[in-house]
Every structure is written in structure tokens, then in C-alpha cells.
Amino acid sequence: MIYSRIIGTGGYLPKKILTNAELEKTVNTSDKWIVERTGIHTRHLAAADQDTCDLAENASRQALEMAKVKCSEIDLIIVGTTTPDRVFPSTACLLQARLGNHGAMAFDIQAVCSGFVYALSIADKFIKTGTVKRALVVGADIYSRLVNWSDRNTCILFGDGGGAVVLEASAEPGILSTHLHADGAYKDVLTVPSKIEQGRLHGDTFTKMQGNEVFKFAVKALSKVVDEALEANQMDTTAIDWLVPHQANIRIITATAKRLKLPMEKVILTVAEHGNTSAASVPLALDVGVRDGRIKRGDTVLLEAVGGGFTWGAILLKY
């Protein structure tokens, strides 16, 4: 049997850090209020001259270096993003050019905060069917540009970043199963409602969020999809060495872990320092866990995310 196995991870955060104390000066909020409700202390913001491809490139080069793989050896490039640099071509094609790869498949996935999980699942299928041998999968977003910085309900949550993994075909177990879902009936609960008309954006270009509804849906959906992944592999939560969740809000993460009866000591957390980096949050957290030595070869790792749409999904893998 052919598995797809992660052989390299990478992450990148812009240099500029925005603290809660700085936000106190611009909106009616406080460090205490933000931390109690979200767990976030700081977030990173892209510079004016940085684009999503910059973030993706930095993360990708780290992942390729760890994997000891040349850019020319990549057969597939997928970028999960909600903030592409152009209407077209895709950010994946722009990244391909930056990396000096010619001829590999390259395309973007738009599933908002679930983008990386969706992209990794797709790459897994390409490898398992023998279509490609190596894939570069990226989650990158400059989500701060979709935020109204006078809206305290959303501006406290989001930051920018990029994360990446290199997948390779292997006889050793890697990705065990992937589970993806969506329900467009919730399209207005978390959305940027603007659209393109005659070459211009029309309508509200900022994120609109019904926070309580997002929280309730996320906890229920994530718990269910994690159970789905475990059941598919005839495992229970005791088999999980590490949970790498979407870093949206500490309350969602802790509530999900509690419903799964999973101790927080087994959860990789970066939300305090990174905030919600949308499609980048899962690969960034995975990279942190790998590089600090917590996630080791042979560990059973569960990735999960939920995003606007709603979209949600989980991936169970052997690292």
C-alpha cells in the first residue's frame, strides 16, 4: 500500500507583532478581556510590501530544507488561502515560479481556515493513487487585510502567517485517513460578503462573524469529525499522541479537547502568540511541535480545523 508521509515542515511569521496593549489604544477592549475570551496575547502582521506568496515561500523553503528535497523534485503544489495575491493566476502558480519549479501541478484551495486540511487531504489522494510522488502543501493568509480594525469582535482574533509541509510517497504509514465536510447553509455566520463586479469589489470587504454561533458549531462539528476519524481507524482518544487544532480561540480548543476527554498536555497550542492565522494555523502549529521536539517520528497526530462556509475536517496520521 502507498502512503503519503510528511517528511518536512516549515513555518513563517511576519516580523511585526501587534500586542493586546496596542489594540487597547485603538478599540474599546483590554488585554484581560481579549485573553479571557480568546487566549490571544499577540499576533503577527504582514508588512505593507509583503504578499501571501512571500509568506508561503518562506514556509515552503523551510519545509523543503527539512525534507532535503529540491524544488524541482516536487510534482504537486497546493496552497490553501483566502487572501490570494491575484484573482488569477493562483498563488500556487506564483509560488511555483518563486521556487523555480516548472511543470508540477499547481492550484489553490479556498476553504478559509480549513484550507490546509482540505489541501493536505487532496495531496494525499494524488500520492496514494500513484499520480505524484512528492507534494508541497501550504496554508498561507494575510488575514489582517480582511479585518475592520475598529471592530473589536474580529480585529482581536486574526494574524498573518504561512505554514507548509512536504509529502512523499512511502511504504511506511503516514496519513491514515482524511475526513472533510461543508455546509453552505451557514454562509452568513462567518463571511466576507463582497463580490467582484466590473473589475471592482462591491459590498462589505471586511469579515462578519456571529461569534456565539461560530463557537457552538465549531465545538460540535470538530468533536464529531474527530470521532469519525478515530472510528475509521478503529482507535480511541488514548491512541492520540498529539492534537494539532486550528488555532482560532482557546475556548474552542479546550471545549473540543474536553469533549474528547483529551488532556491539554497533548494539544499543540500557538494561539496565544499567533492568533488565528486562518489556513496557516494548523501547519504553523504542526511545525512548532515538530521543531521543538514534542512531535516525534511514529507519533499519532490528529489535525482538525473549521472555517467559514462552514467547512471542517480532520486528518489522522503517523508522523
pLDDT of residue 199: 85
Model confidence pLDDT, tens digit, residues 18-75: 999 999 999 999 999 999 999 999 999 999 999 999 999 999 999 999 999 999 999 9
Model confidence pLDDT, tens digit, residues 255-314: 999 988 999 999 999 999 999 999 999 999 999 999 999 999 999 999 999 999 999 999
- Residue of 71, 246, 249, 274 with catalytic role: 246
Task: Tell me, yes or no, if 276 is annotated catalytic.
Answer: yes
Give the start-to-end residue ranges of the domains of the chain.
Answer: 3-172, 176-318
pLDDT of residue 165: 99
Task: Tell me, yes or no, if 53 is annotated catalytic.
Answer: no
pLDDT averaged over the chain?
A: 97
Supply the Cα-derived Rg of the chain in whole angstroms: 18
pLDDT of residue 198: 85
In angstroms, the CA 301 to CA 319 distance is 7
215 burial type by CB count under 10 A (0-12 exposed, 13-18 middle, 19+ buried): middle
Q: What is the pTM of this model?
A: 0.98
Task: Tell me, yes or no, if 113 is annotated catalytic.
Answer: yes
Backbone angles phi, psi at 109, to 5 degrees: -125, 130
Q: What size, in residues, is the chain?
A: 319
* Domain 3-172 matches domain 176-318 at the CATH topology level: yes
- Residue of 113, 155, 179, 249 with catalytic role: 113
Query: Sorting pLDDT into bands at 50, 70 and 90, what band is 185?
Result: very high
pLDDT of residue 259: 87
Backbone angles phi, psi at 64, to 5 degrees: -65, -40
Helix (H, G, I), strand (E, B) or coil at 12: strand
Kindly indicate whether the domain formed by 176-318 is annotated with CATH number 3.40.47.10: yes
- Residue of 20, 101, 249, 276 with catalytic role: 276
Give how far Cα 281 sits from Cα of 33, 100, 311, Å. 22, 26, 15
Residues facing 42 on adjacent strands: 19
Model confidence pLDDT, tens digit, residues 117-137: 999 999 999 999 999 999 999
pLDDT of residue 179: 98
Tell me which CATH code domain 3-172 carries. 3.40.47.10
pLDDT of residue 220: 95
Model confidence pLDDT, tens digit, residues 213-261: 999 999 999 999 999 999 999 999 999 999 999 999 999 999 999 988 9
